[in-house]
Chain A
Amino acid sequence: MASAAKSSGRGAVTDGADLSLVRLYVMRVIYLLIGLGEGSQIAPALFVHDPTARGVIPSLLSGMCLLCLLGLKYPRQMLPLLLFEMAWKYIWFFAFGLPQYLSGHLPPTFSDDFMPITFGVVLMPFVIPWGYFWRNYVLAPGDRWR
């Protein structure tokens, strides 16, 4: 196990024994929720939309949903996607959602955005395997420079 962890310094490849089975399933449920749950809501906007719609937000979200399906097979290796999911939702919550909620100045899209994003803000800290993150994305030596 120790040697496997050592050799994984250049990739993210071990046999998955460094996370509990429960954790792997928790992550898979979230990948599935994002991939199919959120995906089924976002995808229609790709096909039916205003001809001048800018389309950046639905494209970003549906790309995320599509790749999360790969997380079902490789929950550990797709962790950067969950980190991205947590990062952008926290950024939105503290830079936009919360200040707007507190000030009472709400953009028209606020009610659509606030609940699903806040749900992620509450949920994601419980989904991400922080010990694994700490070992592999903070303490682990970076990929080689020379």
Chain B
Amino acid sequence: MMDSKAAFWARGNQEVSLARLYIIRAAALLGIWGLFPTVETLATHTALDRGVHKALISGLWVTSLFALRYPLKMVPILLFELVWKLIWLLAFGLPEWRSGVGSPQLQGDLWSIGAFPAVVVLVIPWGYVWRNYVMQPGDRWR
């Protein structure tokens, strides 16, 4: 019992632990569930909707489907989630919150976007990222 429990959390000779794979999959499920209301609006939007926001979110929804099966290969999407939400927090969320002149959606966005980097940081397998996206030699140039 202890052995299987330890094996669940330990990386052993694998890239990441089984626990980490499940954490990424849980984040993917959260994305599939949480973003679906936006995907639904693709069929019901108003005629003059700009749609870029909805299309971007729906694109992320598609990538979360892949992340259920291939959590490690979809790590770039996790990095993307971290980076764009941090950018939003630093360039829009925090300045607007501090100035007190935020947009009507600011409260909602602060939770759904601004709080997420703290979650994504815990989901990303940093050791794996370090080995494969920093230390590993890049693809060949010639």
Which residues of A line the B interface, CB within 8 A? Answer: 10-13, 15-17, 19, 21, 24, 46-47, 49, 51-64, 66-67, 70, 72-81, 83-85, 87-89, 91-92, 95-97, 100, 103, 105-107, 109-110, 113, 117, 136-137, 140, 142-146
Most B Cβ at <10 Å: residue of A60, A105, A113, A145? A60
Distance in angstroms between the alpha carbons of A55 and B96 in the assembled complex: 11
- What is the total number of residues of chain B having a CB less than 8 Å from a CB of chain A? 62
Q: Are B15 and A67 in contact (CB under 8 A)?
A: no
Pick 27 A–B contacts, CB within 8 A, sort by A: A11-B72, A11-B128, A12-B132, A13-B136, A24-B140, A49-B92, A51-B96, A52-B103, A53-B103, A55-B91, A56-B109, A59-B92, A60-B53, A66-B87, A70-B76, A73-B138, A80-B63, A80-B73, A84-B59, A87-B63, A88-B56, A88-B59, A91-B42, A91-B59, A92-B52, A96-B50, A107-B50
Known pairs A52-B103, A60-B56, A142-B69; A78 contacts B76 (CB<8 A): yes
Distance in angstroms between the alpha carbons of A105 and B15 in the assembled complex: 51
Give every chain B residue within 8 A of A96 (Cβ-Cβ): 45, 49-52, 54-55
B26-43 CB mask vs A (1 if < 8 Å, else 0) is 000000000000000011
